[in-house]
Every structure is written in structure tokens, then in C-alpha cells.
Structure 1
Amino acid sequence: MDGTDTTVLGDQLSPINETDYEYDYLDSVNNFNWNELIPTTIVYAITLILGISGNLLIIITISKYRRMKSITNTFLASLASADLLLVLVCTPVKFYFYNTLCEMMKEDLLGGIIGFFQVNW
């Protein structure tokens, strides 16, 4: 034989891998790519700071000055508020998921909610 156990399921043969593998979570910390952590942190921090300050600046400017209140600017303020909400909710969570060592955290309910907000971004 070739070392693979096969089981008959209906009319099809199904190969079953009999190899045992012990996954060590502490060893995965040593294999984590720390060279990507600093650039990723910088990019997410810049995105968060510029997203919050830029969108708040638009919302405050349109709401404060009377001559800025038009239909187009109201629409822009609405877009800025939606983008502000997206930046505040999704950017920190995406940063956490990118830097977390546990892959199972990416599959839970919070990951699905963030994916829903981002529309598969």
C-alpha cells in the first residue's frame, strides 16, 4: 500500500490522513513575523488618525457654518459620518485580527459583523 488508509463511503473511496500532528501555540509565537508588525501598526495608526480627524473636520465645518448647509454638503456630511463610524469600528478590529496569533478568533461572530460592515472589503 501507499501508506494512506481508504474508507468506502457509498460508491466513492475517501482517503483519510492518519498523520498525528501536535500544534504548539507557544511555538507559533516564535514563528510570528515581527517584521510586519511595525509597518502595519504605522499604517493602521495613520489611517485611524486621518480618518477620524478628516471626517470630524467635514462634519463640524458643515454643521457650524450656515452658508455650508446645502443639499450636497448635507450628503457629504452623511457620507463623512458613515465613514467615521466605519473607521472607528473596523480599523481597530482589523488591526487586532491582523496581529493576533490565534487564527480561530478570525472565525467568530465579531469577525462576521466586521465583514458585514466592510462588505467584503
Structure 2
Amino acid sequence: MMESEINVTSAPSTTHARFTCYGTTLVEMRGSFKIFHNSTISYESNFSQLTDKEVASICLYMIVFCMAMVGNILVVVTLALNPRMRTVTNCFLLSLAVSDLLLAVCCMPVSLVGQILKRFIFGEILCKAIPYFMAASVSVSTFTLLALSLERYSSICHPLKSRVWQTRKHAIKVICGIWISSFILVSPTLVFSNLSNIPIVKIGRCSPACRMTFPNRITNQAW
């Protein structure tokens, strides 16, 4: 078995933790360690706690999450309960609010937990599902804004011609097409998102991380 060794020195610490994991990926190495391909990695490092910057980041995550949830839920409820507001433009706004809710639910809690625990704790299935829904919601938001811009442009620049096709029925068809195409477009995240263990010195242990891994550089560049 081939063996590669990398040595990096770090400042001495009074409190140490020893962690072991499998693999060859190294992240933020600041101590003496060895890598054995397809074998165990052992490393000693010091425990770290949340810094002031990380605490502030967590507080901002919570504030943005609450604002996103409350604001978008109010939009959805208002447009759903008030028939007078079910216009073509508001149909696109409803789609945008739903996609933003999906992004808030899938992204912010996961990022917050990862910020606190310094690891991905949701398992292999959610490692594939969460990035998939995150990417899909971003795609839906982007295409919805594009469709809304085109709709507004047609209404302003070509008001007479646009009246023929600017109906709620047509808007619903466009929105359905946006959602379906978005979920198809980001489907590679289901294939390439994987859970892997990586040693991270800052937290003093081997941590599972969810990341996209591609079979080769061409696939990575194409994505």
C-alpha cells in the first residue's frame, strides 16, 4: 500500500482532541498528521468554540429566516384568499413567494445547523435532497423573474397585442413549465451530491460534509 505523509507544524495547545476518520481529503491542516490512502487518518488538534463572528452570523441567519418565512407566507395567504388579487402579475409573484419559501426551508436551517455543529448531520438521503431542492428553488426564482419581466415589458410596450395571451390560464401554464424545467435542469445534483468524511482541524474531529463530487474534470467544468 502506498503511503504519503504531510507534516505541518502548529502552535502548542493545552487542550487536545484526537479524531480518526477514513479517506484522504485534508481541510485546514495546521498540525502534524499522516495520510494513508484507503486507511485511517489520525490527527490531534485543539477544540474550538464559536467565535463572535460565528455567533453574529448565526443571529443573522435566524433573523433572515424568520423574515423570509413570515413575509412569503403573508404573500401566499393574501393572494390565495383574495380573488381580486389573482392577476397575471400576481400569479408570478405567488410562484416567486413559494420558491423563496422552499429556499428558506431547505437552505437556512441546514446552514444554521452546520454553522453550529460544524458538520452535516442529516444523512445521505437528505444530502442529495436538500441541495436538489435548493438549486431547484433558485432556478424557479430566476426563471419566474425572467417571465415576470417579459410580461411587464409586453404590457407596457405592446399593450394591445399582449392582451390576447396575458391571461391567468396562460400564466399558470408558464409557471408550471418553469417549475418542471427547473427540477429537470438541476437533477444532476441528485447524482453528484455525496456525503463524505473530512478531517477539519478547527473543530478537532472528522466531520461529515455534503458536497458535489464529479467523476472527472470535464463533468465538473460542464456543470
Q: TM-score range by the shorter chain?
A: 0.5 to 0.7
Larger helix share, 1 or 2: 1
Cα shift at 1:33: 4.1
Give the C-alpha shift of residue 35 in structure 1: 1.8
Q: 1:40-55 to 2 correspondence within 5 Å?
A: 40-55=57-72
Corresponding position of 2:162: none
Which sections of structure 1, spanning at least 5 residues, go unmatched? Answer: 1-6, 8-14
> More strand by proportion, 1 or 2?
2
Shift of 1:74: 1.5
Q: Is 1:72 matched with 2:96? A: no
After TM superposition, the runs of 4+ consecutive aligned structure 1 residues lying more than 6 A away are none
1:62 to 75, 79, 94: 79
Q: CA RMSD in A?
A: 3.0
Residue 23 of structure 1 corresponds to: 43
Residues 113 and 81 of structure 1, relative CA distance in 2, 3 Å threshold: same
TM-score, normalised by the number of residues in structure 2: 0.39
Is 1:98 matched with 2:153?
no
Moved more, 48-57 or 79-88: 79-88
Question: 8 Å contact 1:62–1:73 — kept in the other structure?
Answer: yes
8 Å contact 2:79–2:94 — kept in the other structure? yes
Cα separation, 1, equivalents of 2:130 and 2:49:
24
- Specify the SS of the correspondent of 1:31: coil
Give the structure, 1 or 2, with the largest relative contact order (CA under 8 Å, sep 6 or more).
Answer: 2
Number of residue-to-residue matches in the alignment: 103
Q: Is the 8 A contact 1:62 1:69 kept in 2?
A: yes
Could you tell me which runs of 5 or more consecutive residues in structure 2 were left unpaired when the two chains were aligned.
7-32, 35-40, 139-223
SS in 2 for 1:23: strand
**Helix, strand or coil at the partner of 1:17:** strand
Does the CA contact (< 8 Å) of 2:65 and 2:104 recur in 1?
A: yes
1:98: how far off? 2.1
2:25 aligned residue = none
In 1, are the aligned partners of 2:102 and 2:133 still within 8 Å (CA)? Answer: no
